[in-house]
Every structure is written in structure tokens, then in C-alpha cells.
Amino acid sequence: MTMTDQTVTDAARREQARLAGLRGQIDDLDHQLVELLARRQKVVAEVVAFKKERQLSVYHPAREADMIDRRRRHALKVGLDPDYLEEIFRNIMRYSRSTQTAEISRIGVKPGAKILLVGGGGAMGRLFARWFKASGYEVRILEVGDWERLAALCSGLDMALVSVPIAETVATIARLAPHLPKECILADLTSVKEPTVKAMLDNFSGPVLGFHPMFGPDTPTMERQIMVVTPGRERPENRWPAEQFAAWGGVVVRAAAAEHDEIMAVVQALRHFATFSFGRFLYQRRIDLNRTLEFSSPIYRLELDMVGRLFAQDPELYSEIIFATPERRDLLRNYLESCKNNLEILAAEEAVTGGGRDSFVAEFKEIAKWFGPFSDQAIRESGYLINKLIERF
């Protein structure tokens, strides 16, 4: 071996040793990360025990959002990509949530209590029958042909939960209520709350609770699912149905029936109607959807997925939800009027002279100001979805 060969080999060895040293440091750091995660998991177990004892909800959206926000700011401070950090922490939190839920959701808050599911053969009825049974409740079903057995079905009942189509709900409540034991809770799952809670209060003098699950019958889990609870006639001993839902991992949101209906008019009626209108317009113009997708940006694909999703579902259910109350129908009329007003913007844009363009831009800026800090969150969340779509399609 020549002198030069020897030098080259030494240099290569030094390089190797340096790389091995760096890899060793990474191994050490990974080891510490694993140890830290194990320590974190132990603290999570203490939180589980604490929540289990007090029957508290597993998921606290506001706390998670706040944690993610702080981790992101920390990431920026130490020169890390906040999106990368957020993804790691969302994974960690998802895992700790699912272990908490698995542990807590087995509990029946009032096992052995007798629950009558009115319309229990329907989609939502079957879902709740399964969950209540799994937590040790005695579940009875009242379907269309079971009314002659009503007295037996109501005997010793702890809760009657009405889950019939919206249009049938008020009449069903009126028919059922006189047969319920005095201390039994009368509750419902209807998507519209003011008329149904009123019907329960008018027809029954015992405890009354309104529920609206913000999820459909196909949900495999209650984890992080939202249940709106609208107060009717509450007593402290009647909190167990909402506590049961929280114990399954769900999030209970309390709202007066009027507020619930007002918000739902936007979240459900307006949203679905706007989606319907967009889909209808595409249909009327016989747009070649697949061809548009070949040119599409991910955001267009995402939007079209939402439209396609609506038309893949049950039109009766959507018609019930969208047009359920006069208030909802009024809101839709206002929306259509507002769309018509946009013609003014179009006209202003066409009037090329006289600074016509300002109309759209000025309006846009004003609306953007109104959206305020939500815009950052919207960019972040939609960005996440778009990236997932790009990964997949």
C-alpha cells in the first residue's frame, strides 16, 4: 500500500467513524424520545383514571386545539416546520385518545337501566340499541306494529328515546307520553329541536331532554362525535344519558333548542342546499365531470367530492333536514336573494371603465376581514386535506 492509499483509507475510516458517531447520537435521541413517550403514556393513564372516576369526556377539542397551537409556536421558535410537528403531535394525541376511550367506553354509567327506543328498528335506533346494550342497559324497541304492547314496554322504564322520522316525531311524542312512568326521562334524537322539545314538555310532566347526534348511523365509533344536548326539564339525577355519551368518548355540547335550530339551519340546511344547487347547476349544463377532474386542482376535486357525496345519499333524509322548518326555508330564500345580488358585482365587473373592478375586490377584502383569524385555521385544515388527497389520487 502506498502512502497515498494509506491516507485515503484513513480519511475514509475517519468519515465512517464520524457518520457512525452521528448515527449513534440519533439512536440516543430516539431512545430518549421513546422513553419520553412511555413517560407521557403513564401520565395519560393517570388522566384516564381521573376521568373515569369523574365520568368526564375523553376529548376536549378546545384543549387539543390549544395544545397544537402551542406546539406549533414552539416548533417555529426552535426552527422546526410547524406542520411537521403538528402531524407528530396529532398522532400522539390520537393514540392517547383511543387508549383513553377504549378504557373508559366500556363503562355503563347506569347499567341495567331500561331504555325504550321508539323507532328502534330505524337507522339511528339500531345504532343506539347496539351501544346501550354493549354498556349493560336493557334495551326495548317500539316499532310501528308494537303500539298494542305499549303498557308492557313502558313498565319500569328509565328513559324513552324517540327516533322516528322528523315529520312523525311530534305526533309520536303525544301518543307515547301519557303511558310513561312519572320519573322516566323522555328524550329524542330529532335533528330539529324547538318543536320536539316543546312537544315533550307539553305532553309530559316528568324529566325531558333533547338530543341531536351530529353523526350518522354508520359511525363505527362515538369517539370525538358531537352530541348536542338541549335542556328540557332537567334534574341532577337525569344527567346519566349525556354522561353515558361522554363515557363512550363523545363530546357533549349544550345548547338551548332555539340556538341549536338557528345554528343547524346554517350547518345543515344552508350547507346542503348550497351543495345541492351547485350539483344541480353542473347537471343542468351536463358538465363532463370526469373530464373536469383530469384538469382539476386538488381543491376542485375536494369540492366535487362533497357534491358527489351529497348525491350518493338518501334524498328523503336530506329533504327532511333541509326544509324542516319555516325558519330554514326563509334562510334559504335569503340565500338565493343574496346570490342574485351578486349579479350587481358581475355588472360592475363588466363595466370596465369607471373602476368597476373595485366592487369585487372591495367586497372580497371586507369579507376576508370579517373571516379574520378563522382564515388561518381554514388554510391549515384544508391544506392538510389537500395534501392527503394528493398523496392518494
**Of residues 82 and 121, the one with the C-beta less far from ligand NAD:** 121
Question: CB-based burial of residue 260 (10 Å sphere; 0-12 exposed, 13-18 middle, 19+ buried)?
Answer: buried
Interface with ligand NAD includes 216 (CB under 6 A)? yes
Residue 140 is inside which H or E element, if any?
Answer: strand 138-142
Interface with ligand NAD includes 257 (CB under 6 A)? no
Interface with ligand NAD includes 181 (CB under 6 A)? no
Interface with ligand NAD includes 119 (CB under 6 A)? yes
Contact at 8 Å (CB) between 321 and 310?
A: no
Please select the residue that binds ligand NAD; options are 190, 230, 238, 268, rule is CB under 6 A: 190
Please select the residue that binds ligand NAD; options are 75, 117, 161, 164, rule is CB under 6 A: 164
**Of residues 108 and 195, the one with the C-beta less far from ligand NAD:** 195
Interface with ligand NAD includes 163 (CB under 6 A)? yes
21 Cβ partners below 8 Å, 6+ apart? none
Shortest distance, position 75 Cβ to ligand NAD, whole Å: 38
**Span interacting with ligand NAD, options 29-37, 51-59, 120-128, 246-254, rule CB under 6 A:** 120-128
**Of residues 108 and 122, the one with the C-beta less far from ligand NAD:** 122
Interface with ligand NAD includes 125 (CB under 6 A)? yes
Contact at 8 Å (CB) between 214 and 228?
A: yes
Give the HSE-up count for residue 23: Cα atoms under 13 Å, Cβ half-sphere.
Answer: 6
**Of residues 55 and 203, the one with the C-beta less far from ligand NAD:** 203
Please select the residue that binds ligand NAD; options are 213, 241, 249, 250, rule is CB under 6 A: 213
- The Cα 347–Cα 351 span in angstroms is 6
Interface with ligand NAD includes 230 (CB under 6 A)? no
Closest CA to 300 of 312, 290, 285: 290
Report the residue closest to ligand NAD, judged by CB. Answer: 122
Please select the residue that binds ligand NAD; options are 83, 103, 138, 168, rule is CB under 6 A: 168
Place of cell 387508549: 99
3 state DSSP class of 164: coil
**Span interacting with ligand NAD, options 38-46, 99-107, 123-131, 299-307, rule CB under 6 A:** 123-131
Closest CA to 258 of 195, 172, 171: 195
Interface with ligand NAD includes 116 (CB under 6 A)? no
Interface with ligand NAD includes 122 (CB under 6 A)? yes
Task: Please report which residue ranges of 285-373 form alpha helices under DSSP H.
Answer: 289-294, 298-311, 315-322, 326-350, 358-371
Closest CA to 143 of 169, 118, 115: 118
**Span interacting with ligand NAD, options 157-165, 252-260, 292-300, 355-363, rule CB under 6 A:** 157-165
Interface with ligand NAD includes 189 (CB under 6 A)? yes
Interface with ligand NAD includes 45 (CB under 6 A)? no
Give the β-pairing of 208-213 and 226-233: antiparallel
Contact at 8 Å (CB) between 256 and 231?
A: yes
- The Cα 231–Cα 255 span in angstroms is 7
Closest CA to 58 of 89, 108, 101: 101
Number of residues that bind ligand NAD (CB under 6 A): 24
**Of residues 113 and 176, the one with the C-beta less far from ligand NAD:** 176
Binding mask 302-341 for ligand NAD (x = CB under 6 A): ---------------x------------------------
Shortest distance, position 215 Cβ to ligand NAD, whole Å: 7
**Of residues 138 and 143, the one with the C-beta less far from ligand NAD:** 143
Kindly identify the residues of this chain, within the stretch 130-149, that bind ligand NAD according to CB under 6 A: 142-144
Calculate the dihedral angle through the C-alpha atoms of 245, 250, 256, 262, rounding to the nearest 10 degrees. Answer: -140
Closest CA to 84 of 71, 94, 96: 71
Interface with ligand NAD includes 124 (CB under 6 A)? yes
How far is CA 229 from its chain centroid? 15
- The Cα 175–Cα 178 span in angstroms is 7
Applying CB under 6 A, the residues found at the interface with ligand NAD are 118-119, 121-125, 142-144, 163-166, 168-169, 172, 189-191, 213, 216-217, 317
